[in-house]
Every structure is written in structure tokens, then in C-alpha cells.
Structure 1
Amino acid sequence: MTVPGQIENYINSQPETKRGEMQALHTLILDTLPGCKLWFDDGTNDENKTVTNPTVGYGSFTIKYANGKTREFFQAGISANTTGISVYILGVADKTYLAQTYGKAIGKAKVTGYCIRFNKLADIDTNVLITAIQDGVKLSGDN
């Protein structure tokens, strides 16, 4: 199955209210990052064990590990969780940057080093979210 097909299946598998939120967020990110590479991570590891929630990814950058290895990965991602939605912004070196820069302005959300978690889109300022994603993509070195 194609990545867009996997993404569509994932979004459609969500409960009705969350499905609409995920679709709106997916469309918003596609409009913000036109032509970006799309990813779908089903949340399983190499042994087919579930290790995380499935994630839709956008963009591309190279992760550099301490042991010198590298790999391509998405710059931003969205994932449904039990209480709402998580938006991941990866590749920002300063793990305090997102919280310090966007934490107070975004609305009712928990902002950590690389994750913005909220219950529903109405709880946050989506303009601030989009700015945070654009900023994160620039800081991670948009490839």
C-alpha cells in the first residue's frame, strides 16, 4: 500500500471526532509544507512489537546519532493518542526551544522538547502551531 493510502487508512480508523481533527491537521500541514515527503510509521519495531502510536510524518532530515550513524527521518509528525493529538517537531537541537518559544502562546497544550500535545484543535492557536512547525523544519535543515 502507498504511504498516502496508509495515512488515509490510519486517519479513517480514528473515532469520528478525532478523525475530523486529524484530517484537518493533516490538510493544514500539507498546505504549510507543500510537496514535502510523506511518511507513515505504524508504531512497530523490527520484531513487529508495538512500541509507539502510529505516526504520520512530513518532510525529511538526517538524524545523526552519537555513534556516528545517520538515517533519514521526518521533520514533523502527527499521532492520535488516548486523550487527543500529539504533534512532533524533530531535529531542533535545543530541547527547551519549543516550550520557551511557543509554550505560552499556543493555548491549552503541553509543550516538551519535541512534542506539542493537546486534546482538540479548538484548544490551541493553529497559527502558532503552524509557525512552530515551519520554525522546526527550518532549524532541522529542510532537506
Structure 2
Amino acid sequence: MAENKTQPTDASVDDFINQVESPKKREDAFALKKMMEEITGEKAVMWGPSIIGFGQYHYKYESGREGDFLIVGFSPRKASISLYVLGCMHEDFDFTIQKLGKVKTGASCIYINKLSDIDENALQELIAKGYQYMKSKYPTR
């Protein structure tokens, strides 16, 4: 069985953020790091070369494939900032996502151009709800 390509690393989160080209995106990345650390109580960890994650859970599919992945995180990509709030595509999260403002959504991602485009209180609520949802659905061993 193949391992998940995106694994936690020992790379420095701050060094990664400091390499972000856009000064505004860099500023937003540091703000998101602080926000997610405060909400989750978890230390920021690099997952692969470009995702900053907070917390992790273990999954196991009926196919037998299993692995670990981050609970919440983000990546300050060139086009937009990708927010990974895995629990947010379930339950009663639609209303919270709508409150965010100017976003696009994908399978388990929310894409924003900059923090000032969205309602930060709604984002904090979404992160907290998504984190708690995943912690309750996938309790740590």
C-alpha cells in the first residue's frame, strides 16, 4: 500500500513563510499561523514542502489504506491561500463558510486571496468547528 505523499517534516515553518514572495501573503501567512495555533493549541508543522498543518488524525479506509494527515492547515500558494479545514465539508458548516465572504471552495479546501477579503471571526469559528469535528470523529489513540 502506498504511503500518503504529504508527510510531516522537520522543516522550519517560519523559514518557509519568510520565503513567500508577496509581502501581503507573507503577512497573512504569519497571521494564519498564529490564529490556527491559538485555536487548536497545536504547534505549526510543515507537511510536505508547502503545507502548514496543525494537529493530525489517523484515517483508515475500507480498502485497507490508512495513514495520517493534518486536521487543519493552510498553504500560501502563488494564486491564492489554500485553507485546509477538513471537517468543514461536513455537518452544519455550510452556513459558516457562507459567512466567510469572498472565497472559493474545493473538495476539502477553501481558497482566499487575502485575509482582508473575509470575515476573520467566521474563519476562526470555522477553524474551531472543523478542528473539534475531526478530533471527535478521529480520537487519538
TM-score by length of 2: 0.78
- Percent identity between the aligned chains? 28
2:114 and 2:98 mapped to 1: Cα distance?
17
2: CA distance, partners of 1:130 / 1:33: 10
Runs of 4+ in 1 over 3 A off after TM superposition: 91-94
Higher helix share: 2
Relative to structure 1, the CA distance from residue 83 to residue 108 in structure 2 (aligned partners, 3 Å threshold; closer, same or farther) is same
Q: d(CA) in 2 for partners of 1:85 and 1:77?
A: 10
**Does 2:131 align with 1:137?**
yes
Distance 2:102 2:82 in 1: 13
Q: Does 1:23 align with 2:30?
A: yes
The root-mean-square deviation of aligned C-alpha atoms, in Å, is 2.2
Paired with 1:118 and 1:32, the residues of 2 have a C-alpha distance of 19
Query: Tell me, what secondary structure is at the counterpart of 1:26?
Result: helix
Contact 2:33 2:44 in 1 (8 A): no
Q: Is the aligned partner of 1:115 residue 2:122?
A: no
Match of 1:55 in 2: 51
In structure 2, runs of 5+ residues without a counterpart are 1-8
**Cα distance between partner residues in 2 of 1:37 and 1:73:** 15
Q: Residue 128 of structure 1: CA displacement? A: 0.8
Q: RCO greater where, 1 or 2, for CA within 8 Å and sep 6 or more? A: 2
Q: Secondary structure at the match of 1:31?
A: helix
Gaps of 5+ in 1: 44-53
1:42 aligns with 2:36: no
Deviations 1:118-138 (A, max 9, x none): 100000011111111111112
Matches within 5 A, 1:79-94: 79-91=75-87, 94=90
Amino acid paired to 1:57: G
